[in-house]
Amino acid sequence: MLHNPAATKIAVEGLHKQFGELPVVGGVEFNVRDGEFVAIVGPSGCGKSTLLKMLAGFEHPDRGAVRIGGDVVTKPSPRAIVISQHGAVFPWLTVRENLMFGLQGKEVGDKAALADHYAEMVGLKGFETSYPHQLSGGMLKRVEIARALVVKPEILYMDEPFSALDALMNLKMRNELLRILQEERHTVLLITHDVEEALYLADRVLVLSPRPTRIQKVFEIAHPHPRRVSHPELQEMKEAILAELGLTV
Ligand SMILES: Nc1ncnc2c1ncn2[C@@H]1O[C@H](COP(=O)(O)OP(=O)(O)OP(=O)(O)O)[C@@H](O)[C@H]1O
């Protein structure tokens, strides 16, 4: 798909959501440009997952709308895939079969070739016929990323995708993600608890307020990749974000 970085890919318009008496999302508005990487951080329990579920069409807003390329989102669609910390790899299928699973209307040989292409892209060449129990946590995460990419979504929604990994693998997967995005640019929206992860990866960081959540502050990050989070400007931004979250260091 051709890229038009000036174009708005996701438009989030006045989203409100309440569960019973509990207002959770209180008027969230923002746009994401085509090919942009936006990270969202917010206090615990502020409504991040609820917001993401509305963006991806799994929850309906009480008010407001989400548009992808101008079309209102009413249900989950293959245009936007969610990668979460829980994972969605089928244990009884091999890596190749897992990747072929979401591909419809193609010859088996074409599906297998496409699956193997994405397995290689995420560094799983040689493991196409392995089963999930034969893989490490990091490798499983790669299968999930490949499973999302193979259907060629316009948007990747990531909800704490690496938080179940150990610290070293978490750092490694950040770099893998950047490498993959260089090969195949997607629009990405990442929800994370980890301010450094947001600073390392994103073009823009949105800080959410406590519940009912709204956008409290926006930080633009113009630094080229690869970034050093220890860079004084990024450290300054980290402190400013933590202060927004009420976590002054
Ligand atoms: N389906 C639901 N029914 C009722 N209440 C819900 C539902 N989903 C979420 N909530 C409530 O909405 C609030 C926000 O939850 P949500 O999971 O969106 O927050 P979060 O910011 O993602 O949390 P965390 O930081 O713990 O990941 C919580 O108080 C939660 O109990």
Q: What pLDDT score does 170 carry?
A: 84
Q: How far is CA 41 from CA 19, 94, 113, 209, 249, in A?
A: 21, 35, 38, 9, 17
Return the half-sphere exposure (C-beta side, CA atoms, 13 A cut-off) of residue 44: 1
Q: Which of 70-79, 121-130, 159-168, 208-217 has the highest mean pLDDT?
A: 208-217
Neighbours of 245 (CB within 10 A): 21
What pTM was estimated for this model as a whole? 0.91
Of the pLDDT bands very low, low, confident and very high (cuts 50, 70, 90), residue 74 is: very high
Q: In whole angstroms, what separates CA 149 from the centre of its chain? A: 12
Handedness of CA 84, 90, 94, 100 (dihedral sign): negative
Is the confidence at residue 61, as pLDDT, over 90? yes
Of the pLDDT bands very low, low, confident and very high (cuts 50, 70, 90), residue 219 is: very high
CA distance 218 to 29: 12
Quote the tokens at residue 144: 């999930």
Q: Which atom of ligand 1 is nearest to the CA of 53?
A: 18
Contact between 143 and 132 under an 8 Å Cβ cutoff? The reply is: yes
Q: Which residues contact 102 (CB under 8 A, 6 or more apart)?
A: 78, 147, 150, 151
Give domain 1-79+155-249's CATH number out of 3.20.20.110, 1.10.3720.10, 3.40.50.300, 3.40.640.10: 3.40.50.300
Is the confidence at residue 52, as pLDDT, over 60? yes
The radius of gyration of the chain from alpha carbons, rounded to an integer in Å, stands at 18
Q: What are the tens digits of pLDDT across the range 175-206?
A: 989 988 988 888 999 999 899 999 999 999 99
Is the confidence at residue 2, as pLDDT, over 70? no
Q: What pLDDT score does 105 carry?
A: 80
Q: What share of the chain is helix, strand, coil (3-state, %, to 5)?
A: 35, 25, 40
Computed over every residue of the chain, the mean pLDDT equals 92
Q: What pLDDT score does 157 carry?
A: 95
Pocket test for ligand 1, best of 21, 44, 50, 247 (most atoms within 8 A of CB): 50
Percentage of the chain surpassing pLDDT 90?
70
Q: Which atom of ligand 1 is nearest to the CA of 44?
A: 25
Average pLDDT over residues 206-231: 96
Which residues' Cβ are closer than 6 Å to ligand 1? 19, 24, 42, 44-50
User: What residue spans define the domains of the chain?
Assistant: 1-79+155-249, 89-152
Q: What pLDDT score does 86 carry?
A: 73
If you take atom 23 of ligand 1, which residue's CA is the nearest one? 45
Ligand 1 center to 91 CA (angstroms):
28
Is the confidence at residue 75, as pLDDT, over 60? yes
Quote the tokens at residue 1: 């798909």
Given the DSSP bridges, would you call strands 71-72 and 63-68 parallel, antiparallel or unpaired? antiparallel
Q: How far is CA 37 from CA 50, 53, 123, in A?
A: 20, 18, 22
Q: What are the tens digits of pLDDT across the range 119-172?
A: 998 889 999 999 999 998 888 888 998 898 888 899 999 998 888 778 887 888
Ligand 1 center to 51 CA (angstroms):
9
Contact between 127 and 138 under an 8 Å Cβ cutoff? The reply is: no
